[in-house]
Amino acid sequence: MSGLGRIFRKAKKKEKEKTMVKTSGKTYLKAMPLRDLSDLDTVKSEVGSGNILILRITPLASKSIEDVKRAVNELCEFTESVGGDIARLGEERVVICPSHVRIWREKKPLPSKPITTAA
């Protein structure tokens, strides 16, 4: 699963889809496994409803790494299209937030020494 970071970086930008509107007054945090590519419709619906999802991708990864790549790319594109946020939580989980929630990312300080490059 060490290639998950690369998958996030490689997600291609597509034409923006219409932003889904939150239908209820509350935001829920839900955890669910991603077992199959067909689960993506449920994920999109939940995020579109304004909920935050923590997806465990291990069940899908045990079947097909290619499906994991496809799922993460599709989720990245969807999340961007609705103005949400998506991030990896370790090697097994992904968190997806709707547009009214942002994921905090620690900014690492730049090293004070110049970085040497290979000649």
Q: Burial letters for 99-111: b for 16+ Cβ neighbours within 10 Å, e otherwise? A: bebeeeeeeeeee
pTM to 2 decimals? 0.70
Domain count, the chain: 1
Residue 29 belongs to a domain: no
**pLDDT surpasses 70 at 38:** yes
Give the pLDDT mean for 18-34. 74
Residue 40 belongs to a domain: no
Residue 106 belongs to a domain: no
Residue 111 belongs to a domain: no
**Mean residue pLDDT across the chain:** 83
More confident of the two residues 105 and 12:
105
> Apex CA 46: angle with CA 56 and CA 86, to 5°?
55
Expressed as residue numbers, the domain containing 79 is 1-11+53-100
